[in-house]
Amino acid sequence: MAFKLGNIQIFSNTYYFDFMKWRKLTVGISVLLVIASFLVVGIKGINYSIDFLGGAEIQVNVLNPAVSADALRSAVVEAGIANAEITTTGVLSKKESSNSYLVRIQRKSGEDENKTTDKASRLVSVLKSHFGADKIQIASVTNISGKVGKEDAYKGYMALLFACVGILLYVAIRFDARFAPGAVLCLIHNVVIALGVMTLLDRPFTTASIAAFLTIVGYSINDTVIVYDRIRETRLLQPQLPMVTVVNRSISQTMNRTILTSTTGILALLVLSLLGGGTIEDFAITMLVGIVVGTYSSIYVAAPLTLMMDSVLNKFGFHAKNSAEQDKIPKGKDYAPPILIRKKTSGK
């Protein structure tokens, strides 16, 4: 172990840890988390926002600073509307210092669009009578069709599907069949758990959520490919090493990068989660869950699945690309020790 502040180094250059020692346990935990996420989504249901179900948006400009979001909520309750969301506009903070609010009335599943329009009209009348023209101004009333929301949902799901298929092909071409299934299952694992957590927290599923899931997919595959690259390099440089040792050494060598990248991302998203409002908050919380799960899965899901695929393919006679070179190397001799060891022994 080593910790430096200058040039920021957390682990020493010779750091090594047996990550794969608990691979059966970690994969089992991931399977349970995925099953639990499916159960949460199936039982509770995804909280689709107005972006998908449709509804109405009312922009209210506040002329008197005494009018707060709580006062607007009271007026919404007085109008008999339960499924309304009030957010500030124009600022990235929960502090109610904005002079403009957005009241979103979400259409219930199967509800007629005209009924939602009537709710919006009734709410506008209540707001005007409750506060008066000297305190608020109704800037705009916008109706959002549910058909547009269904199209957006379809496009979002297809984007996630194409992203996973594209990544599967990319990893299969860049590496081999041992790596591709682990990478894609890792992505599905991350998205499903993030969706389960957001459903459990009753966070609204918006178009920003789809953007967050696509970002999680990109972040996760980036982290996984870095580990895969190091596994491939280590296997080529030290072909006599067992695959488990290769994986442990590769993950150990990338731990500094993994921790620093994940920590900086988590800190930034924590700030947005605590201070951001509306869709920014939803995006940040989804991304926060995704980064935590993605960092875990790149080590304890993708790598163990690669080991499992390697074992299965070897049993069927599909050896690694460097298997021919391994047969020519005398047992017990290391032709490509780590660079650090070569530097130390070269001075003797």
- pLDDT for 334: 44
Distance CA 304, CA 63 (A): 60
State residue 92's pLDDT score. 39
Residue 110, pLDDT score: 65
Domain assignment present for 348: no
Q: Give residue 319's domain range.
A: 19-45+149-336
> Quick one: tokens of 176?
């081999």
Q: Residue 292 and residue 259: Cα distance in Å, rounded?
A: 11
Enclosing H/E stretch for 141: strand 136-144
> What is the tally of structural domains in the chain?
2
Q: Which long-range contacts (C-beta less than 8 Å, at least 24 apart) are formed by 330-336?
A: 331/240, 332/240, 333/240, 334/238, 334/240, 335/238, 335/240, 336/237, 336/238
218 and 100 in a single domain? The answer is no
83, 181: one domain: no
Q: What share of the chain is helix, strand, coil (3-state, %, to 5)?
A: 65, 10, 25
**Domain containing 225 — which CATH number?**
1.20.1640.10
Domain match, 85 and 169 both:
no
Q: How far is CA 165 from the centre of its chain?
A: 18
4 in a structural domain: no
User: Final residue of a domain: which of 91, 112, 144?
Assistant: 144
Same domain for 239 and 109:
no
For residue 97, what pLDDT is reported?
Answer: 46
Tell which of 116, 144, 172 closes a domain: 144
How high is the pLDDT of residue 325? Answer: 44
191 and 113 part of one domain: no
Rounded distance between C-alpha atoms, residue 202 and residue 215, angstroms: 21
The answer to whether position 9 is within a domain reads no
Look up residue 284 and give its DSSP letter: H
Sheet strands side by side (includes 100-106): 84-88, 100-106, 55-62, 136-144
Q: Is the CB of residue 214 less than 8 Å from the CB of residue 337?
A: no
- What's the pLDDT score for residue 177? 73
Residues of the chain with pLDDT under 70: 1-9, 13, 82-83, 88-98, 109-113, 146-149, 277-278, 317-348
Copy the structure tokens of residue 330: 């005398």
What was the pLDDT predicted at 183?
83
Q: Which pLDDT score is estimated for 311? A: 83
Cβ 117 vs Cβ 56: under 8 Å: yes
> Has residue 1 been placed in a domain?
no
> Quick one: 104 and 173 in the same domain?
no
**One-character DSSP codes across 237-272:** H-TTS-HHHHHHHHHHHTHHHHHHHHHHHHHHHHHH
User: So what's the pLDDT on residue 342?
Assistant: 41
Give the max Cα distance, the chain. 90
Pair 180, 305 in one domain? yes
298 closest CA partner among 260, 254, 232:
254
